[in-house]
C-alpha cells in the first residue's frame, strides 16, 4: 500500500470515529435526563437525590454507555437501573451518556 493511500485510509477511519462520537444528540440527551433520570441523579447528573445514587456528571461517556448497555442486557444487575435502561434505545443511551459526560462535575477536585 502506498504511503498516500495509507494516509487517506487513516484519515477516513479517524473521520468516521469522530462522526460516531458526534452521533449523540445532546439536546435529546438533556431532555431525557430532565424527564427520567433527573429524579434520582439530578437533571445534570451532579446532584443525586440519595447518597447511594451515583454522580453521572463529568463521567467518561464510554463508561456511562457501557454501564447502561450492561444494565439493559442484564449483565449488570440493579432492580432500578435494569428497568430504566430497558426503556432506552441505543440512540437514547448515546444521547444521555454524552449529555451527562458534558456536564461540570463535583467528582473532580481542585488542586
Which residues are near ligand HEC by CB under 6 A?
32, 36-37, 39-41, 53-54, 56, 64, 67-68, 78, 80-81, 84, 88, 96
Residue 14 CA from chain centroid, whole number:
20
What is the rounded CA–CA span in Å between residue 85 and residue 67? 9
Q: CB within 8 A of 69, min separation 6: which ones? A: 85, 93
Amino acid at each position: 500500500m502506498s504511503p498516500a493511500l495509507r494516509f487517506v485510509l487513516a484519515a477516513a477511519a479517524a473521520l468516521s470515529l469522530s462522526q460516531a462520537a458526534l452521533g449523540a444528540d445532546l439536546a435529546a440527551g438533556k431532555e431525557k435526563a430532565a424527564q427520567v433520570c433527573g429524579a434520582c441523579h439530578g437533571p445534570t447528573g451532579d446532584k443525586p437525590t440519595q447518597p447511594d445514587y451515583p454522580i453521572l456528571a463529568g463521567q467518561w461517556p464510554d463508561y456511562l454507555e457501557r454501564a447502561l448497555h450492561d444494565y439493559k442486557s442484564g449483565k449488570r444487575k440493579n432492580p432500578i437501573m435494569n428497568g430504566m435502561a430497558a426503556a432506552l434505545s441505543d440512540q437514547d443511551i448515546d444521547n444521555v451518556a454524552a449529555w451527562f459526560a458534558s456536564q461540570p462535575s463535583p467528582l473532580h477536585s481542585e488542586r
